[in-house]
Amino acid sequence: QIERSLVIVKPDGYRRGLTGEVLRRIEAKGYTLVALKVETADKARLAQHYAEHEGKPFYEPLVDFMSSGPATFVVIEGQDCIKGFRSLAGATNPTEAAPGSIRGDLGRDWGLAVQQNIVHGSDSTESAEREIGIWFPQG
């Protein structure tokens, strides 16, 4: 079915100049860009976005990292694009992510408290709807 997913090119991807490369891969795959903005995320919205990780050891470093500079927030659309983008992104741990994926080709472990893994993609239709509502509240 036609789905929408929230993709974030995280601050590490932004700083490394990989935003265009990630968008290129999304478009080359055949997904459509529906909305896009560059913004330094505020911690209140990040707390909503990462509510499920509250209390985990990487939660605070994660919120600090995600608010450390500009990131690009993108709504993408296409047939099964939630699963499809997660496949494009590769495994969460960039050391283990398969070559050919965004994290496998462009990411590595930097030995930091949080995995700086270039991109985020929603993991279900419920998460996608919730996350799009957080970052694009005007609809």
**Both tokens of residue 98?**
């398969």
* Binding test (CB under 6 A) with ligand CMP, winner from 75, 76, 88, 114: 114
120 is catalytic: yes
At closest approach, how far in Å is the CB of 127 from ligand CMP?
Answer: 10
Choose one: 34-42, 77-85, 98-106, 114-122; the region binding ligand CMP (CB under 6 A): 114-122
136 binds ligand CMP (CB under 6 A): no
**Both tokens of residue 4?**
């929408």
71: exposed, middle or buried (Cβ count in 10 Å: 0-12, 13-18, 19+): buried
103 binds ligand CMP (CB under 6 A): no
Contact 8, 50 (CB under 8 A): no
117 binds ligand CMP (CB under 6 A): yes
Strands 2-9 and 119-121: antiparallel
91: exposed, middle or buried (Cβ count in 10 Å: 0-12, 13-18, 19+): middle
At closest approach, how far in Å is the CB of 65 from ligand CMP?
Answer: 8
Active-site residue among 120, 121, 131, 135? 120
101 binds ligand CMP (CB under 6 A): no
Contact 79, 2 (CB under 8 A): yes
Contact 134, 45 (CB under 8 A): yes
* Binding test (CB under 6 A) with ligand CMP, winner from 46, 62, 74, 81: 62
- Report the interface residues with ligand CMP, using CB under 6 A: 53, 58, 62, 92, 114-115, 117, 120
